[in-house]
Amino acid sequence: MVAARRSVGRPTFQTAPVSFSILGITIAIFAAGLLSADMDTFLFRNLAQANFLVADGEVYRIFTAALLHGGIMHVFFNMYALYLFGPRLEQQVGSPAFASLYVAAAAAGGMVSYVFGPINQVSIGASGAIFGLFGAWMFVAWKMRGTPGGRAMFNQLGVLLAINLALPLFVGGIDWRAHLGGLGAGVLIAWLWSVYAVGQPNARTIRTIIGAAVAFGALVITIFV
């Protein structure tokens, strides 16, 4: 996925501005809803992915649902996962490309949830986007599986993936369709990056275009299916 391995230090806002901006915005939105019941109602009514409203043309909701969370543990786990998986990936591929991956995975998760979910379903959360980052890292680990470090990373991520995919079997209310959609988008984008961007002088631009194209594809499918 990257042209060459680089040594990167501890992630900061300066080195991973998109990751930390998403963290800040998402937590701020959650806090606003927590402090004001009216604001919480307003945000939910206007940003949540209600499939029946998406069907009526409010397709933007496949993106905005990623900004909302239903409780402290929900936002904590998603934002902690973003902190673990996001900044170092952003440092490697560039901020615009990372932003396009995050948005595309959120959109793909929302699209799959809409296309295959019940029409009366209402869902919120950044899990689709987070699974997209997870999918990208899984692809990197798979590409590096011939090395001891790559095998170890692939095995560790595989265990985490199995646990997270199994959670809907034991915990109700989890939109597993969005998880699968985001995961698939992350793997697809990382694969396309490896095919078309690696070794190119404008690799970061190519990565950004690929991520944007996947996001646009998810939007088009949502509109016409």
Active-site residue numbers?
127, 179
Separation between Cα atoms, residue 99 and residue 208, nearest integer Å? 8
Contact 198, 129 (CB under 8 A): no
Q: Which SS3 state, helix, strand or coil, does residue 32 take? A: helix
Contact 196, 3 (CB under 8 A): no
The pair of structure tokens assigned to 83 is 């902190």
DSSP, res 50: E
For residue 168, give every residue at least 6 positions away whose Cβ sits within 8 Å of its Cβ, in sequence order, or none.
Answer: 174, 176, 179
